[in-house]
Amino acid sequence: MEKFKTTADLETFRRKITSVRPAPKISITISVNSSCCILRGSKTVAAAFKDELESQGLNGKIEVLHTGCLGFCEIEPVVIIQPANILYGKVSRKDVKEIVARTVKNGEVLERLLYKDPVSGEKIRGKGNIPFYQKQMRHILGRNEVIDPRSIDDYIKAGGYSALTRTLDGIAPTELVNMIKESGLRGRGGGGFPVGLKWISCRDAPCDDGIRYVICNADEGDPGAYMDRSILEGNPHSVIEGMIIASFGIGAGEGWVYVRAEYPLAVEHLNIALSQALNYGLLGENILGSGHSFSINVARGAGAFVCGESTALMASLEGKVGRPRSKYVHTVEKGLFDRPSSLNNVETFANVSLILEKGVEGYREIGTEGSKGTKIFSLVGKINNTGLVEVPMGITLREIIYDIGGGIPGGKRFKAVQTGGPSGGCIPERLLDLSVDFDALKEAGSIMGSGGMIVMDEDTCMVDVARYFMNFLKGESCGKCVPCREGTRRMSEILERICLGGGEMEDLEVLEDVCEYLPDTALCALGATAANPVLSTLKYFRNEYTEHIKQKFCRAGVCKTLFRYEIDKDLCTGCTLCSMQCPVNAISGERKKAHIISADVCSRCGICYESCRFGAVKIIQTGAAV
């Protein structure tokens, strides 16, 4: 393939491939190229399809598309058959023969593979009719569905890089950065800083040798968030396109993607995409004849949460220990190698081409006054429809959790939703009608963060959640500043003590004290927001703290020393399942008669509670720490 020399070359090529590759009569879309799908066996399904189509002599007559993540992780691997618009979920290797024989050849619908709505119990046929997708606005993730992430041609065919050609053809760099500013796009990594302003300051920052950097933050460290991984795995070119446009606006010649090493598939797809873009002349010297040159390097992270912070990330890129520095000189002025650097998140870059395609006005129509556009959330935890959801800013939490997420599984009661990772907070049921945008979430004591949304039900202990986050932050604090290093450690100790049953009421005051000082004194955002998980749980779930301290009881059955298991005699059928599974032989009883748990022997591992099919194992208050 020859390099495109001008923007016109690229547009000619786009027309050529769209006409040469018309939509075939039947196409099968399989979500293969994503870590979660592979985990669910998508590769074997894809291989089975290949074999089956070959043996049926259908090779070449049917287009098979291996896409990245389709978002609905609960029912992966997903197979979509067009134009009949049939979506099959949880497809296994064994189903393939039947799908090809009946659906592909004869157009029959296999009822058993259709998606079953957990609320109504109805079987639903097409993707558009599934409630999970109905309320979403999939501007960014939607493109995953028509693209094989390993093919740049697919991306171009789907309209990719048209925002780039439009930019290079007729938009001046100053005009471009002003457009981004006007669009109201705010950083999707967590801080929510206006992207346009950042680009303008980076562009205007004085620089002796004229070298500026565009950096993509793909160090998605927030536990519970994986939208950046999904974009990089499913549509890496959208990020590359955003970065090239940014570099044009800022006047940067070099770019970096700092990606987590825990995401090997994302790194692989990114590298493939970069070499394809380079081959097509979309990266390198004199891009499409515009005179603008830009190259992108990939750096793998080495497993440090704090490296998601801008100055720490840049230190890490320089090969140093990833410790943040105080930001009296901003990174847009002196960042990587002391040169002006603009750091944006993966999702932010994916939004850039969308703004250019829709136009500033079109983009501003989505979202609320202060937060424009859509946001991707990873809806996980105790929820029926786990997956990645892309919603317009301003939607309520209730809509996300109940309409899109399908509610809480197993008839359990909703307790809280946690947003923003370790820097965020827990939002209780009474605030579910809160509209989701940067400012409203902050007011509620949480943050938007990078988009993790972890749903918790009655089996989740909120003190334990606070302890979990504090433990996480304690381990990830880089240790440079005292407030964060010592503050997180002390809070973790106190929370650990409360969870073990040794807490005092004064502990809560100490916690509140530390929480008050931390945000004002910590060096970087990790420490400044470290109080949020504790503050929000103390604010909304204080009763759980007092219950742990005064009654020595963890009603969720999580804090092991603060409860015991007991078998309800009336519900136990004597099936012996629990006694067979118990690793410490604490359960005794005859067949078909009620069993008994010996509290002295029981290690409270929870196997019996988990395995009992009749709900006979109960959590009982002991009144004192065991």
Partner 1 sequence: MAVKARPSGSVMVVGAGIAGIQSALDLANSGFKVYLVEHSPSIGGTMTQLDKTFPTNDCAMCIVSPKLVECSRHHNIEVLTYSDVKEVSGEAGNFSITVNKKARSIDPDKCTGCGTCMMTCPVTNRLQIQEIFEEDAIEEIEETERIINQYGGKRQSLITILQDVNEKFGYLPEGALRSISTHLELPLAEVYGTVCFYKAFSLEPVGKHLIKVCMGTACHVRGAGRILEELERYLGIPSGQTTEDRLFTLDTVNCLGACALGPIVSVDGDFHGNMSLLRTAKLVDEYAKRK
Q: Is the CB of 38 or the CB of 46 nearer to partner 1?
A: 38
Q: Which of 73, 87, 96, 494 binds partner 1 (CB under 8 A)?
A: 73
Cα–Cα distance, 187 to 193 (Å, whole number): 5
Query: Residues 99 to 138: which contact partner 1 by CB under 8 A?
Result: none
544 scored as a contact of partner 1 (CB under 8 A)? no
Binder among 244, 252, 380, 463 for partner 1 (CB under 8 A): 380
Burial (0-12, 13-18, 19+ Cβ within 10 Å), 204: middle
- Rounded Cα–Cα distance for residues 297 and 260 (Å): 14
Q: Does 319 bind partner 1 (CB under 8 A)?
A: yes
223 near partner 1, judged by CB under 8 A: yes
Cβ proximity to partner 1: between 40 and 188 the closer is 40
Helix segments in 235-324, DSSP class H: 236-250, 264-279, 310-317
Give the span between the Cα atoms of 4 and 13, in whole angstroms: 9
Which contiguous run of DSSP H or E holds residue 557? none
**What residue type is assigned to position 186 of the chain?**
R
Give me the least distance between CB of 329 and partner 1, in Å please.
19
| First vs last C-alpha separation in the chain | 71
- CB nearer to partner 1: pick between 1 and 321: 321
Alpha helices in 205-260 (DSSP H): 227-234, 236-250
Nearest to 232 by CA among 224, 222, 223, 242: 242
- Residues 314, 336: Cα–Cα separation, whole Å: 5
Closer to partner 1 by Cβ: residue 387 or 407: 387
Whether 448 contacts 437, CB under 8 Å: yes
Report the helix count and the strand count for the chain, using DSSP H and E.
25, 19
d(CA 283, CA 248): 12
Shortest distance, position 474 Cβ to partner 1, whole Å? 13
Give yes or no for residue 226 binding partner 1 (CB under 8 A): yes
Range 455-514, binding partner 1 (CB under 8 A): 456, 460, 465, 468-469, 472, 476, 478, 482
Among 198, 203, 237, 260, binds partner 1 (CB under 8 A): 260
**Burial label, 452 (beta-carbon count in 10 A; 0-12, 13-18, 19+):** buried
Q: Which of 151, 368, 581, 622 binds partner 1 (CB under 8 A)?
A: 581
Of 277 and 473, CB closest to partner 1: 473
User: Smallest Cα–Cα separation from 474: which of 419, 526, 535?
Assistant: 526
- What mask of x and - would describe binding to partner 1 in positions 267 to 306, judged by CB under 8 A? --------------------------------xxxxxxx-
Question: Where in 416-455 is the site for partner 1 (CB under 8 A)?
Answer: 418, 421, 452, 454
Token pair recorded at residue 408: 């809480």
Among 371, 378, 488, 492, binds partner 1 (CB under 8 A): 378
14, 48, 74, 445: which one contacts partner 1 (CB under 8 A)? 74
Number of residues that bind partner 1 (CB under 8 A): 62
Q: Binding residue for partner 1 (CB under 8 A) from 320, 550, 569, 592?
A: 320
Q: Is residue 412 within the footprint of partner 1 (CB under 8 A)?
A: no
> What is d(CA 157, CA 21) in angstroms, rounded to the nearest whole number?
9
How far apart are the C-alpha atoms of 366 and 372, rounded to whole Å?
A: 6
Distance, CA of 466 to CA of 449 (rounded, Å): 17
Q: How far apart are CA 470 and CA 483, in angstroms?
A: 14
How many CB atoms sit inside 10 A of residue 2's CB? 9
Cβ 522 to partner 1 shortest distance, Å: 13
**Residue 261 binds partner 1 (CB under 8 A):** yes
Q: Which is nearer to partner 1, 282 or 441 (CB)?
A: 441
Binding residues for partner 1 restricted to 26-65, rule: CB under 8 A:
35-36, 38-40
Q: Give the footprint of partner 1 on this chain (CB under 8 A).
A: 35-36, 38-40, 73-74, 220-226, 229, 260-264, 299-305, 316-323, 378, 380-382, 386-387, 418, 421, 452, 454, 456, 460, 465, 468-469, 472, 476, 478, 482, 581, 583, 603, 605-607, 610-611
